[in-house]
Amino acid sequence: MKASELLNSKNIKLNFDQSKDFDVKGLAYDSRKVKPGYIFFAIKGLKEDGNKFVSSAVSNGASLIITEEDLSADAEVLKVNEIRKKMALISGSYYDNPSEKIRLIGVTGTNGKTTTTYLIRAFLNDAGYRTGLIGTIDYETGSKKTDSSLTTPDSIELNMMLGEMVKSKMNFCAMEVSSIALSMDRVYGLNFDSAIFTNLTSEHLDFHHDMENYFEAKRKLFSNLSAESLAVSNSDDEYGKKILTDTAAQHFFYSISSESDLRATKQKVERKGLEFDLNYNGKVYRMKSGLTGRFNVYNILASISAALHYDIDIGSIQRSLLNFSEVSGRFNRINLPNGAIAVIDYSHTSDSLKNAIEAAREIVNEEKINARVITIFGCGGNKDRTKRPVMGNFATTLSDHSIITSDNPRFEDPVEIINEILKGITTGDNFEVVENREDAIKRGIEFSREGDILLICGKGHETYQEINGVRSHFDDKEIVEKYLQLAG
């Protein structure tokens, strides 16, 4: 594609000197990825300013630099406003606007995005469709599956992946859409066929500063939907109805507590799984799943809402749900020799930690045995610090015993992170501090007894621990298996 054609395509209309025309070979915002014939977007990021790497991009063969700054270079320079939006639109055009050729389903919210997208994919695939996936754990674009680097990649990678899905003749893409991605225009210009809101609780306030900004970022996904699209929301959440107030899309609500289009009643939650009555269009259907935890009832409802919109019948959904395997790092259960179970969970926000502990508590109470909930958790470094004391409070007030440890301290002192967690604790002596995460898991296994639920929270599917900026292999599941026999 010629640069003049690309830069003057639909919704872009940039003033580019046609005498400087060239064949565009690729797009990049990382100068290290630039090759001859590339367009380089010099973007000010959260950590680095791309304008500092223009000379490197030119050395690697960039034919055009797009920037918001006044600068000169040994290549053509085009100054624009709102460069991230321009990059998103140019990326879409370069990859032949793939979001218009695939049904794109966006899932946003603080918690539940990953499980919801996996469920949607299962319901669609079992109904005979082919569904791509973009999210926290991995990216699946057809025959290609890669580990995730960002929950929602930047616009160049996004459009490239969607383009791969179109070439692979996929019908749908289920995509997690983060608030940071929405704020940074990573999904700008994409044509979402439907969008789902799960919930909103305190998270990423180091980036958004307050809950109102966080909410407004999430609302962007729905504000840009067309009248032909579907907007699905959790009416039990305090933001659930508000988030759809200015969308042109069709509204559809799901719930447990409030009246809605799709409601779960008569829930039964056990350590082996869950079941509930699904109330829809005046009829009741019994749903059963190997997933557990009340929070997963919400994830299932959100996913069913999307499936119903695409005319998948309830019988097919029931079968898919019954056969659905838990998602990696999401309330994964491991039986211990002493009759306790260890649960590996990604709960790294205050609300997801609360949900995980309450789910474990509900299971223990339902079984009416003298068992305990033991929670092992820490908080990540160089992230939202406001949640640390809140998580400390939730863990110690909701659990019988807590072991406070490290998560990914990154560039922070792990002891200082733990001290901030301790500031939120108001209980007596039902907790201990074991800074080394492996030792903490070992201690939890030794401390457990028959019937207990040992929650190991924060890392889930992650197979590394980051300390002083260095990532080393660390897998909570592997550590549990290493010390399994210590559960006497």
**C-alpha separations of 408 from 27, 285, 479 in Å:** 33, 43, 16
Q: Residue 456 has what pLDDT?
A: 98
Q: Residue 369 has what pLDDT?
A: 82
Residues of the chain where predicted confidence (pLDDT) is lower than 50:
none
283-288, long-range: CB < 8 A, 24+ apart: 285/314, 285/318, 286/318, 287/317, 287/318, 287/321, 288/318, 288/321, 288/322
Does 351 lie in the same domain as 237?
Answer: no
Q: Residue 203 has what pLDDT?
A: 64
Residue that terminates a domain, selected from 289, 323, 357: 323
Per the CB < 8 A criterion, the answer to whether 131 and 121 are in contact is yes
Does 109 lie in the same domain as 84?
Answer: no
Query: 273-280 and 283-289: which strand pairing?
Result: antiparallel
Write out the residue range of the structural domain in which residue 64 sits. Answer: 3-94
Give the count of domains, the chain: 3
Does 152 lie in the same domain as 35?
Answer: no
CA dihedral 279, 284, 290, 291 (to 10 degrees): 10
Per the CB < 8 A criterion, the answer to whether 410 and 469 are in contact is yes
Q: Residue 380 has what pLDDT?
A: 94
Q: Residue 379 sits in a domain of what CATH number?
A: 3.90.190.20
Residue that terminates a domain, selected from 297, 323, 349: 323
Q: Residue 465 has what pLDDT?
A: 96
Does 260 lie in the same domain as 130?
Answer: yes
| Tens digit of each residue's pLDDT (9 = 90 or more) over 31-60 | 999 999 999 999 998 788 999 999 999 999
